[in-house]
């Protein structure tokens, strides 16, 4: 046990780290507010699920998954995969 106390069970959750400035936030809501206030132009948000990406190319590949696409292709056999590591 870590010895921390919480007012509500919902307060017990994993921490959320900012990918840009490495600050840590206790809730996803606090993390989201931080991104909007401090880094609004540095992140790219998925219009479908609101997931944030630091690179527009990563966002494009992510959006392809929502559309049922497979953004990664094997250069040897031409099979398509959802995740890059699966195409190795």
User: Would you kindly state where each structural domain of the chain is located, as residue ranges?
Assistant: 14-41, 46-88
H/E element, 16 = strand 16-17
CB atoms within 10 A of CB 35: 19
pLDDT in tens, 22-38: 899 988 889 888 988 88
46-88 CATH fold:
Double Stranded RNA Binding Domain (3.30.160)
CA pair distance 62, 23, nearest whole angstrom: 25
pLDDT tens per residue, range 3-17: 556 566 555 567 888
The pLDDT value recorded for residue 66 is 83
Helix (H, G, I), strand (E, B) or coil at 44: strand
């Amino acid at each position: 046990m870590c010895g921390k106390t919480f007012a509500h069970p919902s307060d017990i959750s994993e921490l959320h780290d900012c990918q840009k400035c490495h600050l840590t936030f206790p809730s996803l809501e606090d993390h989201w507010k931080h991104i909007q206030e401090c880094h609004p132009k540095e992140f790219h948000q998925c219009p479908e699920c609101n997931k944030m990406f630091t690179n527009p190319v990563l966002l494009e590949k992510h959006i392809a998954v929502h559309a049922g696409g497979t953004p990664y292709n094997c250069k040897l056999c031409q099979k398509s995969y959802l995740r890059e590591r699966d195409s190795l």
